[in-house]
A = this chain, B = another copy of it.
């Protein structure tokens, strides 16, 4: 099977995409580091928690939503806990489980940083795109994400069709 190389159009799209995503993440990380003292991911953790019922979520569910590994999340939450933004609680129904809960301090920080963050996302992303493009971006991103989740690191193909990990709310 000979390789199907990228067409010139694909090349251009790919390179532009790489550059844009690098630059964008960088800009957002810098802004949040400045204004909230934490990188984007950490801010996202607070953000997701703040929108969850009772502002708490099990570690695995949190990792799932953020599309990161559990290990990475453990590290991040440990830091956030040290800073008092998050508190870890035991899960009553499953003694293995551990729940991350947003503290009032954490919420306050999020609240203070949110306007600046939104402004940044707006000025670097949405201000540059037409309404149409925003829709296109969503569709493109969704298509990509979907493809990547279906198989993740697919367990040998002789496995069960595919079962989504059920997320027990646990509280």
Contacts and interface: CB of A to CB of B under 8 A. Distances in A.
Contacts of A149: 23
A119 B21 CA distance: 21
Contacts of A13: 134-135, 137-138, 141
Given A3-B119, A30-B153, A118-B4, A124 B148 contact: yes
A125 interface: yes
Task: Provide the main secondary structure of the chain A interface.
Answer: helix
A22 B140 contact: no
A76 interface: no
Nearest to A142: B16
Given A20-B141, A118-B3, A10 B68 contact: no
Interface in A63-79: 66-68
A141 B16 contact: yes
A161 interface: no
A124 to B, nearest CB: 6
Ranked 3 nearest A-B pairs via Cβ:
A16-B141, A13-B138, A20-B141
Contact of A144 (B67, B124, B138): B124
A22 B136 CA distance: 18
Contacts of A89: none
Contacts of A17: 137-138, 141
